[in-house]
């Protein structure tokens, strides 16, 4: 009997089987999930202490968007790979909801200047004006409201060059009002933000609304286009075909939280005629996978001026990672690279290290949670030594890095004197690795402001040495050593080190003093010898010159 089939005895004592379909969830079930998420988002937690607590109104709006995106994501999976009762779709629905909710908690509240709908007009020196209706609470826009809200765009001779319709949900009636207005502005618009502009609409209506906006904007000479947070999928991407095909001068393209699957990624590459001028390309939080990444790599390879590339949380494995790495090798102007939260593995890490050798302008690199392990991390660290002389942000959290890779990593850090942020959280550096990192940070690094070595199995000795180094930096702001094994005495010692600037020391509420392998007496006796041994290692540490 399958997971969706159950036995039932009828009035004639006959045993009959019947099926229960778990997908799609009922309207009441979806509302219940929104209610639960709203409660979770407004409950005090370690996130609210660090990032702030959401108001009930903002939490409810975020919960509705999370549910809508998670439902679209799971439904797309169910349509592509149906499994009878829909249990796998339910699991994806729950998992995606949790993931998106965590992102909101880490983002914290968004402070608005006003709760009512407002139009922000920002005037540039040239007299050009930005038309922005994204302020205030998310709202559904009907035809009458659209007529009133968009009056400024009807004024003859206006100089609006950018429109932002984000955070408003347009239905068909409102879209028909917008259509002639946008058509009249084609010759002057250069920036269009349509992120999160169909939230809560049924798929058929949303697709038709997108078609209307696409046709109205066809032929605009855009340099900036943002279609994020619309759960587009392939259908949504193709709904914007008229607009995308007419773009030859795009410099910035944002497709984040859009359900960009393998098919949707292919559609993006197919519909964008030229990417020779593209400087910013962002695909964060999609379901791209290996095949989708291979498609995106074609677009990347044709974008020689690319400066900012984000393909984080896109389910890319080794094959797709290698393809992206090879394509990035053509982008010698890259300044910011964000590949976080994928499944690259060692092979893709090694391929990426070859591309890094050509990045002389790189200032920010985010490589956390890529399964790089020691081998991949060492190779990348050595490549960075020879490139990116002005690197400011280095993020390699969650890669199973141990003391084996720390000498190479430390050499890399030593060479990066402009570092402002260093994130090596959720690795296995322990005291040996931590003290080695601290020693190279001791010399120079005058711009360092944040260091995160949380969840690294660090005890009192490592925590003390690192704290003593960073507290001396003139502009330092935050040291995160949470989720380690620092003794109670060690915690007191840290607080003493930071007594003149307690805000520099992050929370230690998840520290586990019982997780230490050594007792306090052994630790104190061995600390001096321990540091002497590390000093010896440092003397043999060779910093490779930049080429």
Q: Is residue 282 one of the residues assigned to a domain?
A: no
Residue 303 is assigned to a structural domain of this protein = no
Say yes or no: 154 and 103 in one domain.
Answer: no
- What's the rounded Cα separation, in Å, for the pair 393 and 376? 19
**In b/e form, how buried is each residue of 241-259, taking b as 16+ CB within 10 angstroms?**
bbbbebbeebbbbbbbbbb
Q: What is the pLDDT at residue 538?
A: 42
Q: What is the pLDDT of residues 408-424, one digit of tens each?
A: 999 999 999 999 999 99
Average pLDDT over residues 288-296: 95
Among the residue ranges 96-100, 302-306, 428-432, the one predicted with the least confidence is 96-100
35: tokens are: 């209610």
Mean pLDDT, rounded, for 268-273: 92
Distant-in-sequence, close-in-space partners of 217: CB < 8 Å, separation ≥ 6: 182, 186, 189, 192, 242, 243
Looking at 235, 255, 274, the residue that finishes a domain is 274
Same domain, 67 and 151: no
Note whether 220 and 191 are within 8 A (CB). no
Give the range of the structural domain holding residue 261, as residue numbers without chain letter: 127-274
Which pLDDT belongs to residue 522? 45
Residues 81 and 157 in one domain: no
As a whole-number percent, the residues of the chain with pLDDT over 70 amount to: 86
Q: Which residues touch 512 (CB under 8 Å, ≥6 apart)?
A: 483, 484, 485
- Residue 152 and residue 208 share a domain: yes
- Res 80: pLDDT: 74
pLDDT tens for residues 442-487?
999 999 999 999 999 999 999 999 999 999 999 999 999 999 999 9
What average pLDDT does this structure show over 29-52? Answer: 78
Domain containing residue 244: CATH number = 3.80.10.10
Q: Where does residue 262 rank: exposed (0-12), middle (13-18), buried (19+ CB within 10 A)?
A: buried
- The CA-to-CA distance between both ends of the chain, in Å, stands at 65
What pLDDT, on the 0 to 100 scale, is given for residue 75?
79
Confidence band of 60 (pLDDT split at 50, 70, 90) = confident
Q: Domain boundary residue among 246, 274, 302?
A: 274
Residue 1 has pLDDT above 60, yes or no: no
Which secondary-structure segment (H or E) carries 252? strand 252-254
Cα 152 to chain centroid, rounded: 35
- Which range, of 92-106, 119-133, 252-266, 518-532, averages the lowest pLDDT? 518-532
Q: Is residue 472 part of a domain?
A: no
Q: What's the rounded mean pLDDT across residues 39-68? A: 77
Residue ending a domain, choose from 255, 274, 293: 274
Query: Does 418 fall in a domain?
Result: no
In a domain, residue 268? The reply is: yes
The verdict on 264 and 140 lying in the same domain is: yes
In a shared domain, residues 45 and 148:
no
How far apart CA 476 and CA 488 sit, in angstroms, is: 24
CB 233 within 8 A of CB 258: yes
Over residues 241-245, the mean pLDDT reads: 97
Number of domains, the chain: 2
Residue 128 has pLDDT above 70, yes or no: no
**Cα–Cα dist 40/32, whole Å:** 12
Region class of 315: left (phi > 0), else alpha (psi between -120 and 50), else beta: left
Q: Quick check: 382 and 408 in contact, CB under 8 A? A: yes
Place of tokens 């430390």: 410
Is 507 contained in some domain? no
| Structural domain contains residue 201 | yes
Tell me: do 156 and 241 sit in the same domain. yes
**Crossing angle of helices 262-271 and 289-301, rounded to 10°:** 20
User: Residue 349 has what pLDDT?
Assistant: 97
Based on the domain organization, do 160 and 240 belong to the same domain?
yes
Q: What phi and psi, each to the nearest 5 degrees, are found at residue 7?
A: -100, 145
For residues 263 and 134, state if they share a domain: yes
Domain membership flag for residue 117 = no
CATH of the domain at 45: 1.10.246.200
Q: Are residues 249 and 163 in the same domain?
A: yes
Task: Give me the pLDDT at residue 483, please.
Answer: 96
pTM: 0.76
Judge if 266 and 144 occupy the same domain: yes
Same-domain check for residues 170 and 88: no
């Amino acid at each position: 009997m399958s997971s969706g089939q159950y036995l039932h005895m009828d009035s004639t004592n006959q045993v009959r089987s019947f099926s229960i379909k778990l997908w799609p969830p009922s309207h009441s079930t979806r509302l219940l999930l929104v209610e639960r998420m709203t409660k979770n988002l407004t409950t005090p937690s370690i996130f609210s202490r660090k990032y702030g607590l959401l108001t009930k109104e903002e939490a409810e709006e975020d919960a509705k968007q999370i549910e809508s995106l998670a439902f679209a994501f799971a439904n797309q999976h169910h349509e592509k790979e149906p499994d009878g009762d829909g249990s796998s779709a339910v699991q994806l629905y729950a998992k995606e909801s949790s993931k998106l909710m965590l992102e909101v908690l880490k983002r914290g509240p968004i402070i608005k200047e006003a709760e009512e709908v407002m139009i922000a007009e920002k005037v540039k020196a040239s007299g050009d004006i930005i038309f922005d209706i994204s302020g205030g609470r998310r709202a559904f826009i009907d035809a009458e409201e659209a007529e009133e809200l968009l009056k400024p765009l009807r004024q003859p001779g206006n100089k609006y060059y950018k429109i932002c319709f984000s955070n408003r949900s347009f239905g068909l009636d409102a879209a028909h009002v917008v259509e002639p207005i946008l058509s009249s502005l084609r010759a002057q618009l250069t920036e269009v933000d349509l992120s999160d502009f169909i939230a809560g609409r049924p798929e058929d209506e949303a697709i038709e609304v997108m078609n209307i906006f696409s046709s109205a904007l066809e032929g605009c000479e855009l340099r900036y286009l943002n279609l994020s947070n619309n759960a587009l999928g392939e259908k949504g991407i193709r709904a914007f075909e008229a607009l995308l095909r007419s773009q030859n001068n795009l410099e910035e393209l944002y497709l984040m939280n859009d359900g960009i699957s393998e098919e949707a990624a292919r559609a993006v590459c197919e519909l964008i005629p030229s990417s020779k001028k593209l400087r910013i390309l962002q695909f964060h939080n999609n379901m791209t996978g290996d095949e989708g990444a291979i498609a995106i790599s074609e677009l990347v390879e044709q974008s020689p001026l690319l400066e900012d590339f984000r393909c984080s949380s896109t389910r890319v494995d080794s094959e797709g990672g290698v393809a992206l790495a090879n394509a990035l090798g053509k982008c010698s102007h890259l300044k910011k690279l964000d590949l976080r939260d994928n499944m690259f593995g060692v092979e893709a890490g090694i391929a990426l290290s070859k591309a890094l050798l050509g990045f002389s302008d790189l200032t920010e690199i985010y490589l956390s949670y890529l399964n790089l392990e020691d081998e991949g991390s060492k190779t990348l660290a050595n490549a960075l030594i020879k490139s990116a002389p002005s690197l400011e942000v280095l993020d390699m959290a969650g890669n199973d890095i141990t003391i084996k890779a720390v000498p190479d990593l430390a050499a890399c850090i030593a060479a990066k004197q402009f570092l402002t942020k260093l994130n090596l959280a959720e690795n296995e550096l322990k005291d040996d690795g931590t003290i080695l990192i601290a020693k190279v940070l001791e010399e120079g690094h005058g711009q360092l402001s944040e260091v995160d070595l949380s969840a690294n199995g660090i005890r009192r000795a490592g925590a003390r040495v690192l704290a003593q180094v960073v507290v001396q930096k003139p502009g330092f702001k935050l040291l995160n050593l949470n989720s380690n094994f620092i003794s109670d005495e060690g915690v007191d010692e840290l607080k003493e080190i930071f007594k003149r600037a307690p805000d520099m020391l992050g929370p230690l509420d998840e520290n586990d003093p019982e997780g230490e392998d050594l007792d306090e007496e052994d630790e104190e006796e061995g600390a001096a010898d321990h540091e002497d041994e590390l000093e010896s290692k440092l003397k043999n540490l060779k910093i490779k010159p930049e080429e």
